[in-house]
Structures are given as structure tokens and as C-alpha cells.
Amino acid sequence: MFACLKSMLNCKHFGNCGGCSLLNLPYEKQVAKKQAKLQETLKDFWQQEIPVTVTEDPVYFRNKVELGFCHQVKWRENYDKKDPANKTRPLEFEQTLGFKLKGRWDRAVDLEECLLFNEKLVPLVSAIRTWAANENLPYYDQRKHTGILRHLMVREGKNTGEEIVVLFVTDDFNEKTFIAAVESVLPQANIMAAVNNGLADTAEPESLRVLKGKDHIFEKIILTNEQGQTERTVIFKLSPQSFFQTNTKTAQKMYSRVRRVVKQLAPKRIYDLYGGAGSFSLSCADLCEKSICVESVAPAIYNGIENAKLNDVTTVQFFCSRVEDFVREQPIERKDALIILDPPRGGMHPRAAKAVAQSGVENVLYISCNPVTLANDLKILTQYYEILHVEAFDFFPHSEHIETFVQLKLK
Ligand SMILES: C[S@@+](CC[C@H](N)C(=O)[O-])C[C@H]1O[C@@H](n2cnc3c(N)ncnc32)[C@H](O)[C@@H]1O
């Protein structure tokens, strides 16, 4: 499995760039390191070896990147803090476009190499950099909150080849020349502009408009059986804000794995809690009578409703609610149901974890992107449930993160 993954990958930005933190290790060693840490974090609950499904080709696996435009003080090599000449030397500034520097919210690397997204990203960044210089557009200064260019988001359907480029700005810009710059590298891409005047450094738009093509792309999840044969394909419509797992190829292995467990358990009803746009409900829609997808973010629910229609699924009911409120208002009672939990990095609200623990539902599947909060929630869940199985999926090569899947059964 690791035959092609033993050698080290190189990137000139490694060490500075916040995009990767483990690139100095061959992929095989990265996985071993994360597996050992996961094993240690879960040692009070699970002592058997936790198998890890790797990303088969850990280069160009991400389906989405968000880069920052930064107007920042120029870094001086060999800067001597004590040199009195620094007091009178004027500050020099530079404009960079790339991932944020490790541990910095106000500085970005000027991206010239990257192994995360696809081979067109660096030429695209370069074309946009040249365009911005020609148009004399200032990059955003995080400290003074001045400048026009803020973020560049690029999304690609890894199974469909569709692309969307979104430029986040604070003001008007020359749309015609921007479209030409993007088209010089990505002739087929959909292109959008998003206005963001908020103080927070997030790619959260106040308004979005299409400059070329559509306001979304499609991505497919191909679900396979144990022999690797396709069992079901689910189509997802992704707008710039939609949550979607960033590693399509490895995520579909995890969804396929969950599907196989659901097939075995044959529940009548699935509670898909922290459901996003309904990925689990839609992946398993042919395996149960009804799914209840609970998600707190309204646009994700709208996407979910559209995705259900797109896939001819009529059995998923979407609830826009926090899980901790949902379980208080609508106690989970069906004993022949299955609960799927996929909370964000912060884990579950204790009220939600307690309600699931006391639900009496026979089977629970927990998918986690943060082993530490998973361990916290397991403290509550294992008062009533025993753990049957734990495995992990490496969705995030070259970073410290790992996705964990835990199967629980009522004691
Ligand atoms: C890790 S994502 C999982 C999404 C989905 N299951 C998937 O596979 O695409 C976690 C989701 O939980 C949602 N969320 C966060 N806090 C929540 C809460 N308290 N109640 C309900 N949903 C929440 C987030 O908006 C996000 O869509």
C-alpha cells in the first residue's frame, strides 16, 4: 500500500506555510505518527490496534483551498532586534497571496509551490498576482483593515472536474480583466465575486455574485462494496459556502465503510446528527425507510434539500436545529433506529452526548475529526454503550489531523 509513499515530498514553503506541518516526513511515517497519537488519545477506551485507511495518492488530493491576500511588513532576514539603526530604518511592506504562515493570522506565504490542490493552483495564483499588480489593487492589511483583495477560494469536483473560483473583496474591481486572468489558466471555471467588509478574517461573504458560469459546482461520491464495486453514486451541489469533506477520494472510502455497517445493521430509521448537507443520509437512503438529518447551519440544510431532490431521495427529513436543542424537543425514542454522529472539531454539547447516551437506541456510529473531543464524548457515551470497532481515515495528509470512526452498541 505504501510502495509509492516511502519517499519524502518537498515544498520550498515547508516550515513557514501553515498549509502543511508534516511534509518533512515520508507519508508512511506521517500516518504511523498520527496512528500512534490516536491510539494514545483513545487508550482508556480502546486498546486494539486502530487500522488507518490512507490517502492513496497524497498529492493534489484537496478539493478546496482558501488563500489569503496579505499586505504585510516585509520579513528581514537576520533581523537584529538590538541594532539601534532599526529605529530610524523605514518599514518596508510586501503583498503576498497564499496560505497563512504557521501560527500567524496576519501574514501569508507568497505561494510559488503547493502539493495540496492541483497542478493549476500555482499558475492561477501567479496569473492573479500579475492581474492585481496591473490593476494596482491593494491586498488586505489585517491590522489596519484597509485594501481591496481579501481571499481567493478555489474548489474542484475531483470526480466531476468542475471548478469554481471565488474572489473575496471589499470593493469594486475590474471584472472583465479578472475573468481573463482566471481563464488564462482555467478556461472552463465558474467565477464569482464575494464582498466581505467584516473585521473577521474568514471567507464569509456578505454578498455573492456570478461573474461567469454558475454559482455552484457538482461533486460525486462513489460508494463501493467490499470488492470495490460501485453500489451507489450520490451527487452533491456545492456552492462556495457548502461544507464538504476536503478529500473526496478518501472521504468516499469512509462513506462506503459507514454504508457497509448500516447495511449490516439494517435500521428502519437513521438519525444523522450534525448532518451538514445530508452526506450520510443520502449515502444510505436506499438502506432505511427514513432519515432525520439535524444540522444547525441553514444554508447547509438548503443544500441538503436540493441534494435530496437531485438524487431522487424523498425519505430524508431535514431539521435546522442545534443537536442539543433537537434532542430536548424531540427525544430519540425509536429503538430500531441508528444514530450517526459527526460533530465539528469542538465535539458534542454535553447535553447532546447525554441524550444520545440515554436514548436506548441499539447502535451508534461516531465519526470524528478530533480525537481529543471524541475521547471526551466517549466518557459519556461509554457509560451506556460498548465500543465494537475503531478505525481511522487519513483525510488530511501532511497535517496532524485524522478522521476516526467508532462503532458503539448498547450495553
Ligand atoms: C464535521 S461536519 C459534518 C457534516 C456532514 N456529516 C458531512 O459528512 O458532510 C459537522 C457539521 O455539524 C454542524 N454543526 C456544528 N455544531 C452543531 C450543532 N450544535 N448542532 C447541529 N449541527 C452542528 C456544522 O455546521 C457542520 O455542518
**Residue 6 confidence (pLDDT):** 61
Measure 347 CA to ligand 1 centroid, in angstroms.
Answer: 10
Average pLDDT along the chain: 93
Tens of pLDDT, residues 273-326 = 999 999 999 999 999 999 999 999 898 899 999 999 999 999 999 999 999 999
Q: Which three cell numbers stand for residue 331?
A: 427525544
Question: 338-391, pLDDT tens digit by residue?
Answer: 999 999 999 999 999 999 999 999 999 999 999 999 999 999 999 999 999 999
What pLDDT is recorded for position 202? Answer: 75
User: Residue 173's pLDDT band (boundaries 50, 70, 90)?
Assistant: very high
| Ordered structural domains, the chain, with CATH | 27-59+219-410 (3.40.50.150), 64-215 (2.40.50.1070)
- Contact assessment for residue 65 and residue 166, using Cβ atoms and an 8 Å cutoff: no
Burial (CB < 10 A; 0-12, 13-18, 19+), residue 325, is middle
| Residue 78: per-residue pLDDT | 67
* First and final C-alpha spacing in the chain: 36
What does the block give as the cell for 297? 447551519
User: Measuring from each residue's beta carbon to the nearest atom of ligand 1, which residues come in under 6 Å?
Assistant: 243, 245, 274-276, 279-280, 294-297, 300, 322-324, 342-344, 349, 369
Nearest CA to ligand 1 atom 4: 276
Single out the residue of 386, 374, 356 nearest to residue 294, CA to CA: 356
Residue with cell 532576514: 77
Model confidence at 400: pLDDT above 80: yes
369 is catalytic: yes
Residue nearest to atom 26 of ligand 1 (CA): 276
- Our mutation pick for probing the ligand 1 site, out of 253, 254, 295, counting the most ligand atoms within 8 A of Cβ, is 295
pTM of the model: 0.92
Q: Give the three-state DSSP class for 128.
A: helix
Query: Does pLDDT of 8 surpass 90?
Result: no
Strand order in the sheet with 190-195: 93-98, 64-73, 149-156, 163-169, 190-195, 207-212
Cell match 430500531: residue? 336
Q: What's the pLDDT tens digit per position in 250-265?
A: 999 999 999 999 999 9
Contact in structure between 361 and 222 (CB atoms under 8 Å): no
Q: Is the pLDDT of residue 166 over 60?
A: yes
Give the closest residue to 21 by CA, choosing from 130, 141, 101: 101
Identify the pLDDT of residue 408.
Answer: 98
Strands 93-98 and 64-73: antiparallel
Other beta carbons within 10 angstroms of residue 28's beta carbon come to: 15
Residue 91 has pLDDT above 90, yes or no: no
In the prediction, which pLDDT does 74 show? 82
pLDDT at 3 over 70: no
**Catalytic choice (163, 219, 295, 403):** 403
CA of 233: how far to CAs of 33, 159, 207, 220, 294, in Å? 33, 11, 32, 7, 22
* Alpha-carbon gap, residue 112 to 122, rounded angstroms: 6
The residue whose C-alpha atom lies closest to atom 27 belonging to ligand 1 is: 276
- Classified as helix, coil or strand, 297 is coil
Dist CA 191 CA 183 (whole Å): 9
156: annotated active-site residue? no
Looking at residues 174-192, what average pLDDT do you find? Answer: 98
Task: Compute CA distances 278 → 52, 218, 267, 281, 364, whole Å.
Answer: 25, 15, 17, 5, 17
pLDDT at site 14: 93
Catalytic residue among 114, 284, 288, 369: 369
| H or E segment and range at residue 355 | helix 350-357
3-state secondary structure of 69: strand
Q: What per-residue confidence (pLDDT) applies to 81?
A: 72
Residues sharing a CB contact under 8 Å with residue 335, sequence separation 6 or more, in sequence order: 360, 361, 362
Percent pLDDT > 70 in the chain is 97
* Identity at 231, one-letter amino acid code: E
